[in-house]
Amino acid sequence: MSADSTQNCNLWRECRFEGIQSQFALQEYLQELVRIDRSNVERLICAPDGQDEEIWQFEHLRLLCLDLNYLVIQLEPECNKESCPEMKADEWLYLCAAHIQPQACCAIDYAFHTLDGATSLLNSNKYFPSRMSIMPTSLKHFQSIARRLYRIFAHAWYHHREVFDSFEVRRVCPIRRCNYTAHWVLLTMCKRVLERGVFV
């Protein structure tokens, strides 16, 4: 297949959310938005009208895991046990939670373990038995997953900047994720303030 034909593979008309007749409509719509313009962060972070914001967050985290696999693959040739024996971002050292007791891992192992753990958790029937609603007790996992995945970006930013920049230009994933997380945290804080009736 020629380069021209692969570039044209994704060129079909935009599909409106209302036109998606599927059990996984939010996942498909998010992927559609990314296909059309992954740099339009404002559009990406806004859930379709009338749709559950928590499911939208869930689908973003699932897509983020997929996107991050591409970054880790690009990091692998230069991020190894010799070059990055610990998972660091600037001077911060992170311990890997994939072990019985959190322990130090080389950065690339930390990235693999974190992605495996996040993917397993997001596909767990115990914590996420339905893609149509999120159990209130499972919401606590969102921040933990986002925080750990963010560390992979931070490591790439501080220690493999050329790889990070190349990845960002092609996928616009770090920008999208950071903006989405900021939007999500702000909404969560506002919701808590309103629920408690406390204004600061």
For position 19, what pLDDT does the model report?
63
Domain boundaries, the chain: 52-196
Which residue positions form the known binding site? 79, 84, 155, 160
Which residue positions form the known binding site for Zn(2+)? 79, 84, 155, 160
Q: How far is residue 24 CA from its own chain's centroid?
A: 18
Q: Looking at residues 31-36, what average pLDDT do you find?
A: 83
137-164 pLDDT tens trace = 998 898 888 888 888 988 998 999 999 9
CB burial class (10 A; 0-12, 13-18, 19+) of residue 158? middle
Q: Which amino acid is at 8?
A: N
Angle at CA of residue 11, ends 175 and 27, nearest 5°: 55
62-100 pLDDT tens trace = 988 988 899 999 999 999 999 999 999 988 899 999 999
- Does the global pTM surpass 0.75? yes
CB 75 within 8 A of CB 102: no
Segment among 98-102, 104-108, 131-135 with least mean pLDDT: 131-135
- Give domain 52-196's CATH architecture: Up-down Bundle (1.20)
CB 44 within 8 A of CB 33: yes
